[in-house]
Amino acid sequence: MFNTSIYQHLRRSCQNIAIPLLGCILLHCDLSIAQTQQYPNKPIRLLVGFSAGGSADSSARTIATFMGDALKTRIVIENRGGAGGSIAAQIVSRAPADGYTLLWSSPGALTISQILEKNLSYKTETAFAPIGLALTYCNALVSRTDFQFNSIAQLIAYAKDNPGQIKYATQGVSSAGHLSGEMLQVMSGLKLTHIPYKGGNEIMTALLGNELQLGFVSSTTAGVMRSRIRILAVTSLHRDPSLPDVPSLHESGVSNYDANFWFGLLAPAGTPPAIIQRLNSLLRETLSNPEVTRVVKAQGLNPAPSTAQEYTALIRADYLKWKKVISPAN
């Protein structure tokens, strides 16, 4: 038989617990809302996973200047280079989720590291709250002007018959150029010999010095050196705006080839959605500013504003794409 006195006692006990608990929840919500409404009330740290002077650093500084002005605060750049950007990512993954520590990152730290590194202290999907995609860029496949092949089709035909004989240069192991070369080999069934260098200038010196036949360099470097080299193709799915007359590898016969790269803005996981939304809106406004557009395009970067959800989906899609190309099994 049901004991009504026990029921009444339990009901009163639950009420005594629930009312204070509800009050705590409401108080926490009020504090969170107040903090969000006051945001930002101090400078913001923006960690960049690369050393000063490169396109990652310069583009981050451009974006930070305009966003900081809109937020009426300083966005302080902190360069933490090393491990393809993973050092900066690790720092941000452990930072308070209050919107005052942000990450300017690329696929290296968010997707490539997740495939190649077994002992990372963070997982991209759970460590970060993506704010928005900012910029995209590609590489260009270049050769000397006297290179024996004028087209990608001719190059592929020769490379298949002569595995390993064609040497190509990149900006280093796991760089955008190296990834572009690995994807070309996987998608075309080629065997090329990779020669890593420290940067575009060294690649050009080696290429013009007849030390190798091909090189993957930034579209900016390719454009600057155009009078002395041949640009065979770009690595993005579609033509790059900075080299509109150069076909993509996809157009040139490597169907669906797409080695496009990007920079984006992220916060630690758990950052209040209202802060993420505000930063996303400001990022998109910044990327539509004509002065920002002019500066970043001069660096070979293309404004590519997105929602937080679209950026999250891109990171996941890139992880799956590159895993097929560079997984340890390969």
Q: Are residues 230 and 267 in the same domain?
A: no
SS3 category, 321:
helix
pTM of the model: 0.86
The total number of structural domains that make up the chain: 2
CA distance 192 to 214: 10
Integer-rounded Cα Rg, in Å, for the chain is 25
For residue 32, is it within any domain? Answer: no
Q: What is the mean pLDDT of the chain?
A: 90
Q: What is the pLDDT of residues 154-195, one digit of tens each?
A: 999 999 999 999 999 998 888 899 999 999 999 999 999 999
Residue 194, pLDDT score: 96
Residue 328, pLDDT score: 54
Please, how many CA atoms are within 13 Å of residue 64, restricted to the half-sphere of its CB? 22
Selection from 131, 127, 147 nearest residue 232 by Cα: 147
Measured in whole angstroms, how far is the alpha carbon of residue 194 from the centre of its chain?
A: 23
Pair 55, 113: CB distance under 8 Å: no
Q: Are residues 220 and 264 in the same domain?
A: no
Give me 255's structure tokens.
Answer: 């169907």
Q: Residue 202 pLDDT more than 50? A: yes
For residue 193, is it within any domain? Answer: yes
Q: Which CATH number does the domain housing residue 78 bear?
A: 3.40.190.150
Selection from 255, 254, 252, 264 nearest residue 318 by Cα: 264
Residue 6, pLDDT score: 46
Residue 173, pLDDT score: 85
Instruction: State the DSSP string of 97-149.
Output: SSSSEEEEE-HIIIIIHHHH-SS-S--HHHHEEEEEEEEEE-EEEEEETT-S-
Q: What is the pLDDT of residues 284-316, one digit of tens each?
A: 999 999 999 999 999 999 999 999 999 999 999
Comparison of pLDDT for 63 and 8, the residue scoring more? 63
Residue 327, pLDDT score: 74
Q: Are residues 67 and 147 in the same domain?
A: no
Determine how many CB atoms are found less than 10 A away from the CB of residue 12.
10
For residue 210, is it within any domain? Answer: yes
Q: Which CATH number does the domain housing residue 182 bear?
A: 3.40.190.10
For residue 322, is it within any domain? Answer: yes
Run of H or E including 47 = strand 44-48
Residue 172, pLDDT score: 87
One-letter amino acid identity for 74?
R
Q: Are residues 164 and 212 in the same domain?
A: yes
Q: Are residues 223 and 155 in the same domain?
A: yes
The conformation of residue 247, written as its DSSP 8-state character, comes to: P
pLDDT, mean of residues 245-263: 97
For residue 103, is it within any domain? Answer: yes
Comparison of pLDDT for 4 and 82, the residue scoring more? 82
Which domain, by its residues, includes 218? Answer: 139-234
Residue 199, pLDDT score: 83
CA distance 234 to 243: 8
CA distance 173 to 177: 9
- pLDDT tier, 15 (very low <50, low <70, confident <90, very high otherwise): low
Task: Tell which of 216, 234, 252 closes a domain.
Answer: 234
Q: Are residues 319 and 180 in the same domain?
A: no
Give me 232's structure tokens.
Answer: 């065979």
Residue with tokens 């996987």: 186
pLDDT, mean of residues 81-95: 94
Q: Are residues 49 and 101 in the same domain?
A: yes
Q: Are residues 122 and 151 in the same domain?
A: no
Residue with tokens 């709250």: 129
Q: What is the pLDDT of residues 22-35, one digit of tens each?
A: 554 444 444 455 55
Q: Are residues 131 and 274 in the same domain?
A: yes
Cis peptide leading into residue 273 (ω within 30°): no
